[in-house]
Amino acid sequence: MTTTVSDTTPVPLAVGERTWVRPLKALISYAILFLLATMFIYPFLLAISTSFKTLPEINQNSVGLIPQTFTLEGYERLFSFNVGRWTINSALVATIITVLNLFFASLAGYALARIPFPGSRLAFLGILGTMMIPGIVLIIPMFIVLKTLGLLNNYGGLIIPKVVTAFGIFLMKQFFESVPKELEEAARIDGATQFQTFFRVILPTARPALVALIIFSFQGAWNDFMHPLIVVTTNQSLYTLPLGLALLRGGMGQNLLWNSLLAGSMLTTVPMAIIFFIFQRYFIEGISYSGIKG
């Protein structure tokens, strides 16, 4: 049992096909995949293009991909705001939350999946249950708790309540359940403690799930709106990107300045896309790594 990272030989196409069937099938598959890709990315491309259009043009032709008059007025307005500060706040908060989430959620997820301790079932149901209450009804109580603990208008308030999420725990627990039991039994026989087993044996196998958790935690914190809204309302130097971008929209009326609004949403989307692109590679590396070993 040497595999530390589980390996996948992909599900093959059918066995025993004629030689020309394969390229044809591949061609059709790629055609469909590219079509799907277009469908998934078109709104994003349109948002980019619209961020470079003038307002009158957006109103006359809302779906054209090429701006007729290229303008930077959207970005000019965007950068007249304190976007640098908002971005730094968001990045800082999201990074800390992600790191702590990785640690706490995998600890709790492992305990719930693999340590049959008294009360574990109840604890899990409780954690799962917290996801089932609409968050909107909890914001005033949350505000009161934050105020009581002195966590309004500071980074602590932005970060501490979010360092472990039910989603993360649930994700890790479900993942650990699919890891073969033999792994840790072997470690236990060697006399490792629970904590050693977890750190040295289990955690390394969890790389795909940890990558998924990194992506989701970062994204969750990066896009969170309601929580920062109640924590830092009166202190604009602590605003995160989503809060700042809501300012761009303006409060009342229908006069949406589309170009700057979409320029702003590019500012939130592009960093996330880069993070995703970087981390999704580890899904692949997982395979090749174990492929060598296996």
Give, as ranges, the residues between 149 and 188 that touch another protein (CB under 8 A). Answer: 149-152, 156, 160-161, 163-164, 166-167, 169-171, 174-175, 177-180
Q: Does 56 bind another protein (CB under 8 A)?
A: yes
Q: Residues 2, 18, 20, 284: which binds another protein (CB under 8 A)?
A: 284
Q: Residues 91, 100, 192, 203: which binds another protein (CB under 8 A)?
A: 100
Please report, as residue ranges, which positions from 101 to 140 form the binding site for another protein (by CB under 8 A): 103-105, 107-108, 110-112, 115-121, 123-140
In the complex, what is the shortest distance from the CB of residue 84 to another protein, in angstroms, rounded to a whole number? 18
As given in the structure block, the two tokens for residue 87 are: 């971005």
In the complex, what is the shortest distance from the CB of residue 74 to another protein, in angstroms, rounded to a whole number? 12
In the complex, what is the shortest distance from the CB of residue 158 to another protein, in angstroms, rounded to a whole number? 12
User: Closest by alpha carbon to 153, among 139, 168, 143, 162?
Assistant: 143
DSSP one-letter code for 197: I
Q: Residues 72, 185, 281, 293: which binds another protein (CB under 8 A)?
A: 281
Total residues at interface with another protein (CB under 8 A): 143
Rounded Cα gap, residues 115 and 104, in angstroms = 15
Q: Judging by beta carbons within 10 Å of its beta carbon (0-12, 13-18, 19+), is residue 267 exposed, middle or buried?
A: buried
Please report, as residue ranges, which positions from 193 to 212 form the binding site for another protein (by CB under 8 A): 193-195, 198, 205, 208-209, 211-212
In the complex, what is the shortest distance from the CB of residue 21 to another protein, in angstroms, rounded to a whole number? 13
Please report, as residue ranges, which positions from 16 to 35 form the binding site for another protein (by CB under 8 A): 26, 29, 33
Q: Is the dihedral of CA 289, 290, 293, 294 positive or negative?
A: negative
Q: Does 221 bind another protein (CB under 8 A)?
A: no
From the CA atom positions of the chain, what is the Rg in Å? 24
Q: Does 291 bind another protein (CB under 8 A)?
A: yes
User: Closest by alpha carbon to 46, among 265, 272, 257, 247?
Assistant: 265
Q: Residues 21, 37, 65, 88: which binds another protein (CB under 8 A)?
A: 37
Helix locations, the chain, DSSP H? 21-51, 55-60, 73-79, 83-114, 120-130, 139-148, 155-159, 166-177, 182-189, 194-196, 203-205, 207-223, 226-231, 241-249, 258-293
